[in-house]
Amino acid sequence: MLSDYRITDVADDEINLATAVDVAIRDLREILVGWGSEAARQRAEECELTLRRAFSGFVSRQPMSS
């Protein structure tokens, strides 16, 4: 069974890249245990969305190169 932890103290668009990667590593471990289940599929989608948002936020804060 997948755990029900969530990052509730920070809005999704404020999660820094390091936090998103840390959470994704834990998510992926649990996804592997529940491989093939609907819960694992949903967790994988949540993981991907969190990483995508964190990466987008990280990139948008980088200085533009000339």
Q: Is residue 43 assigned to a domain? A: yes
Q: Is residue 18 assigned to a domain? A: yes
Nearest to 19 by CA among 30, 33, 6: 6
* Selected residue with higher pLDDT from 64 and 1: 64
pLDDT for res 6: 53
Does the structure show a pLDDT above 80 at 31? yes
Q: In angstroms, rounded to a whole number, what is the distance separating the alpha carbons of residues 57 and 59? A: 6
Determine the structural domain holding residue 51 and report its residue range.
Answer: 12-57
Residue 66 structure tokens: 């000339």
Kindly report, residue by residue over 44-64, the tens digit of the pLDDT. 999 999 899 899 988 888 888
User: How many CB atoms are located within 10 Å of the residue 31 CB?
Assistant: 20
pLDDT for res 66: 62
Q: Is residue 30 assigned to a domain? A: yes
**Percent with pLDDT over 70 in the chain:** 77
Q: What is the DSSP letter of 64?
A: P
